[in-house]
């Protein structure tokens, strides 16, 4: 099987699982918003962004090192040493930070979680288990076991949905949703850990690889924290200035705009491993080809999605949540969707910086972007309400894209097909006219409009010769036998 075909198949598999995972987030939205007050949904959003923040600190960027250095590792002992060194170090750091969180649960409940102490006391356990899960997930990525990786991501999402539905409808409210989240993460940890244990066996590591791993990963911590600041800190700021109810208004619109991430996540999972292998083997032409194709396919899918999500934001939110939430939050979606488009392009180009091991520059970009985001959010939220937070997010991602492109393309040139981008934009505009004409309202009308408009978009793109026969054959490879 050709390497191009294998790459496309893996990206296709992760794309499918990522689609189902994102749909899971959409499925969970009405379960929560229609069964608990908007203030409690705001607490749910705060729990998730807090888990994301603390996990970044606990992981020390080490999953990135696993992917960068384990991709070419073949010896069983080296794999054991790498995996158990990282897992035990993360477990140690996770224990210390989780204990600190538990000790601070009362003030955290007051300032961030609307005085819900029970939820705040469960939070440290979720953070600890989530950090360990991140190591296990990235073991499958590093070893290119994409089917298993995708399967466990899928199970984790839908198990959490099932448990949240059970506890919330049983009358447990936000506490039940959080307990369901913890149980789902614990179950998936047990399954993944024993599967890895059966595959590679056990070993007491000597931590000899940790200095090299930390030298690569520690500069990425500011990047991870800054990414969290841009994506999630706005919930904290909104909560402080406006209250948890407005976090509840803001989060569904953000969730809808964030669907654009489903198009970049597959490439983000696969590209670091594949590109590292080709770069280390000095196959520079293959590296350039993969990067340029990744940009092309991402933009072909993301551009029409930005138009579609922006125009359908209110009807989708009114169906999935409440009219009150739709009225308050539908304008958030266009800003977030465009921001995620910028982030997607920047993420693909950032692989260049990782390949040449210039991770300190990535850290600098993200630190500056985070500072810009926080400053703008604090300035704009009191003036523009939750729309100010969305605008700040968009501007921060624009800065990330401009800075990353300027530096990365100076290190390794990548082809941009500007004629193809213009064709995608024109096809998206034609599709948008159909959305305006149809003006769908209910769920079936929305789904029908999405299907019709997707067909129109690809038809127009085909007529403009944005997709040729060779490309169709290349894409069809993802439906062949995978690995």
pLDDT by residue (tens digit) across 355-374? 877 777 887 888 899 999 99
Q: Does 42 share its domain with 65?
A: yes
- Phi and psi for 115 in degrees, rounded to 5? 65, 20
In a domain? residue 468: yes
Instruction: Tell how many helices (H) and how many strands (E) occur in the chain.
Output: 20, 0
Decide which of 124 and 470 is more confident: 124
- Residue 181 gets which letter from DSSP? H
Query: Which of 218, 253, 275 is the C-terminal boundary of a domain?
Result: 218
| CA dist., res. 247 & res. 40, Å (int) | 10
| CA dist., res. 339 & res. 346, Å (int) | 11
In a domain? residue 19: no
Cα radius of gyration rounded to whole Å, the chain: 22
Q: Does 266 share its domain with 213?
A: no
Q: Does 350 share its domain with 442?
A: yes
Q: Does 65 share its domain with 79?
A: yes
For the residues of 215-238, what is the DSSP string, one character each?
HHHTTHHHHHHHHHHHHHHHHHHH
Q: Does 212 share its domain with 251?
A: no
The whole-model pTM stands at 0.81
Domain of residue 100: give its range.
35-218
Query: Which of 218, 247, 267 is the C-terminal boundary of a domain?
Result: 218
Query: Which of 158, 184, 218 is the C-terminal boundary of a domain?
Result: 218
| CA dist., res. 306 & res. 333, Å (int) | 9
In a domain? residue 259: yes
What CA–CA distances, in Å, run from 65 to 71, 210, 212, 215, 403?
A: 10, 9, 9, 9, 23
In a domain? residue 177: yes
**For the chain, what is the domain count?**
2
In a domain? residue 79: yes
Decide which of 354 and 331 is more confident: 331
Q: Does 204 share its domain with 226?
A: no
Q: Report the pLDDT value the prediction gives residue 482, as an integer from 0 to 100.
A: 38
The pLDDT-based confidence of 78 (bands split at 50, 70, 90) is confident
In a domain? residue 350: yes
In a domain? residue 22: no
Q: Report the pLDDT value the prediction gives residue 479, as an integer from 0 to 100.
A: 39
pLDDT tens readout for residues 422-470: 999 999 999 999 999 999 999 999 999 999 999 999 999 999 988 766 5
Q: Where are the beta strands (DSSP E) in 24-112?
A: none
Q: Does 199 share its domain with 244?
A: no
pLDDT tens readout for residues 154-195: 899 999 999 999 999 999 999 999 999 999 999 999 999 999
Q: Does 385 share its domain with 271?
A: yes
Q: Among 203-212, 371-380, 400-409, where is mean pLDDT lowest?
A: 203-212
- Residue 342 gets which letter from DSSP? H
Q: In terms of Cα–Cα distance, which of 323, 443, 456, 335 is closest to 396?
A: 335
pLDDT more than 70, % of the chain: 92
Q: Which residue has the tokens 């204990």?
A: 99
Q: 104: which 2 tokens?
A: 């601070």
Side-chain-side CA neighbours of 418 within 13 Å: the count stands at: 0
Q: Does 115 share its domain with 194?
A: yes
Q: Report the pLDDT value the prediction gives residue 475, as an integer from 0 to 100.
A: 52
The pLDDT-based confidence of 1 (bands split at 50, 70, 90) is very low
Q: Does 235 share its domain with 193?
A: no
In a domain? residue 20: no
Q: Does 159 share its domain with 232?
A: no
Q: Is the pLDDT reported for residue 337 higher than 80?
A: yes
Q: Does 214 share its domain with 285?
A: no
């Amino acid at each position: 099987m050709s390497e191009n075909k294998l790459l496309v198949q893996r990206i296709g598999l992760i794309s499918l699982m990522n689609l189902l995972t994102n749909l899971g987030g959409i499925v969970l939205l009405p379960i929560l918003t229609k069964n608990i007050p908007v203030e409690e949904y705001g607490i749910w959003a705060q729990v998730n962004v807090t888990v994301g923040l603390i996990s970044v600190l606990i992981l020390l960027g080490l999953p990135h090192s696993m992917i960068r250095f384990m991709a070419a590792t073949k010896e069983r002992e080296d794999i054991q040493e790498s995996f158990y060194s990282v897992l035990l170090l993360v477990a140690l750091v996770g224990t210390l930070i989780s204990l600190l969180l538990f000790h601070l649960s009362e003030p955290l409940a007051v300032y961030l979680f609307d005085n819900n102490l029970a939820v705040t006391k469960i939070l440290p356990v979720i953070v600890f288990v989530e950090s360990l899960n991140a190591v296990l997930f990235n073991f499958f990525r590093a070893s290119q076991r994409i089917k298993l990786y995708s399967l466990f991501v899928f199970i984790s999402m839908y198990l959490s949905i099932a448990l949240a539905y059970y506890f919330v409808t049983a009358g447990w409210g936000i506490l039940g949703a959080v307990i369901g989240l913890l149980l789902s993460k614990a179950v998936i940890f047990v399954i993944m850990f024993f599967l890895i244990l059966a595959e590679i066996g056990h070993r007491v590591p000597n931590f000899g690889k940790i200095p090299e791993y930390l030298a690569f990963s520690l500069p990425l911590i500011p990047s991870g924290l800054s990414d969290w600041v841009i994506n999630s800190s706005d919930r904290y700021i909104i909560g402080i200035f406006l209250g948890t109810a407005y976090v509840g208004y803001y989060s569904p619109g953000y969730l809808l705009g964030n669907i654009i991430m489903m198009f970049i996540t597959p490439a983000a999972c696969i590209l670091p491993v594949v590109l590292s292998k080709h770069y280390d083997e000095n196959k520079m032409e293959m590296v350039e080809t993969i990067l340029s194709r990744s940009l092309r396919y991402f933009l072909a899918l993301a551009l029409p999605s930005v138009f579609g999500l922006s125009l359908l934001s209110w009807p989708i939110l009114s169906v999935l949540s409440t009219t009150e939430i739709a009225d308050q939050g539908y304008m958030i979606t266009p800003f977030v969707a465009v921001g995620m488009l910028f982030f997607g392009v920047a993420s693909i180009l950032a692989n260049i910086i990782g390949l040449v091991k210039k991770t300190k520059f990535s850290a600098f970009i993200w630190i500056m972007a985070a500072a810009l985001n926080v400053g703008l959010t604090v300035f704009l939220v009191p003036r523009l309400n939750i729309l100010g937070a969305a605008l700040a997010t968009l501007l921060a991602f624009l800065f990330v894209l401009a800075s990353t492109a300027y530096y990365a393309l100076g290190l390794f040139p990548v082809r941009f097909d500007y004629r193809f981008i213009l064709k995608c934009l024109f096809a998206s505009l034609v599709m948008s006219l159909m959305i305006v004409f149809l003006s769908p309202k209910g769920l079936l009308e929305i789904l029908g409009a999405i299907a019709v408009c997707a067909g129109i978009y690809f038809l127009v793109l085909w007529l403009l010769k944005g997709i040729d026969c060779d490309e169709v054959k290349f894409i069809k490879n993802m439906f062949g036998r995978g690995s």
